[in-house]
Amino acid sequence: MPPTITEKAEPAAKAEASAAASPAAAAAGGLTDVDILNFALTAEHLESKFYSMGFAKFPMSDFMALGLSEAQVKSLMMVGQTEATHVTTLQSAITGAGAKPVEPCEYNFDAALASADAMVKTARVLEAVGISAYLGAAPLVNSSDVLAAAGSIVTVEARHQAFIRIAAGAEPVPAAFDVALGPRAVFTLAAQFIKSCPQGSNLNIQPFPSIALQNPEQATIGQNLKLADPAQPSGAMFCAFVAPTGAQFTDITDGNCKVPDGISGEVYMMITKSKAITDAEVLAGPAVLQPS
């Protein structure tokens, strides 16, 4: 049974003590374990608010009109409830470590909640990004207890995503692995939904510029994607397609780059100046593509 608001899950309780024991121990990239917990909380706040706003706006009948059964709609609602539980669990872990949890931001979900269909499509992306966020943060964590707490959440995020893929008529397990993204790439994807945050709740992470495409609807294997401005970003040489099978790079020619073969599921596209996807080499993105 998931923890209630007044009940702590064991991994989170251990994470409190562990994060408090070494709050100044900097992880790779200059992030402490508490920083990483607040990074996770920022993402969970966004997801929780997205679901609560969506289900307040759309009745069950709107989702059933998409072809979802009543049971599937109720399961989708449960996804939102578990995201809210993740929020309270992370808040408890951060408070127990003697730090202040970040507060929810003000969000712009206008496009994401334009319709029930848009909500389901956005949920599929958010859950995929959530998985990638936890996987990318895992190597930065010093404490095994904090890592265990994060692990107990990411497995649920994966169940969320598989369920939503099924509800959307997609293959639930499109690949044998998931993609890890670093904090800066994840925050770039989250930043598009964030209007402003309360004082003290802004993460010390600078997002990359977003990728603007003329034809995002053509993001399928073998198609050429056209950058909205071929001259931007300056120094752009490659499109990187980061998939579960690894990263593939295609040359940018006259503002175009081709979607490569052999990718599936949720794929992250970045603009780079070399064939590397380190923060120093990425110029823009990621954007989320769904070739399958």
Does the pLDDT value for residue 279 go beyond 90?
yes
Inside any domain, residue 207: no
The more confidently predicted of residues 291 and 130 is 130
Asked if 184 and 224 sit in the same domain, the reply is no
pLDDT digit string (tens) for 31-60?
A: 899 999 999 999 999 999 999 999 999 999
Q: Which of 179, 195, 60, 73 is nearest to 123 (CA)?
A: 73
Confidence of residue 27 (pLDDT cuts 50, 70, 90): very low
Asked if 188 and 222 sit in the same domain, the reply is no
Q: Note the pLDDT of residue 30.
A: 81
Structural domain count, the chain: 2
pLDDT digit string (tens) for 217-264?
A: 778 888 999 999 887 889 999 999 999 889 999 999 999 999 999 898
Inside any domain, residue 201: no
**Where is average pLDDT lowest: 11-25, 35-49, 81-95, 97-111?**
11-25
Q: Note the pLDDT of residue 1.
A: 35
Q: Which of 151, 188, 168, 156 is nearest to 269 (CA)?
A: 188
Inside any domain, residue 132: yes
Q: Note the pLDDT of residue 264.
A: 87
Asked if 159 and 237 sit in the same domain, the reply is no
Asked if 41 and 162 sit in the same domain, the reply is yes
The half-sphere exposure of 56 on its side-chain side, counting CA atoms within 13 A, is 6
Mean of the pLDDT values across residues 84-107? 96
Q: Note the pLDDT of residue 170.
A: 92
Asked if 227 and 149 sit in the same domain, the reply is no
Does the pLDDT value for residue 85 go beyond 50?
yes
Mean of the pLDDT values across residues 184-212? 95
Asked if 31 and 173 sit in the same domain, the reply is yes
Asked if 232 and 191 sit in the same domain, the reply is no
Task: Work out the mean pLDDT of the chain and round it to a whole number.
Answer: 89
- By the 10 Å C-beta count (0-12 exposed, 13-18 middle, 19+ buried), 62 is classed as middle
Mean of the pLDDT values across residues 144-152? 92
Asked if 15 and 93 sit in the same domain, the reply is yes
Where in the sequence is the domain holding 47, given as residue range(s)?
Answer: 10-196
Question: Element (H or E) spanning 251, and its range?
Answer: strand 246-251
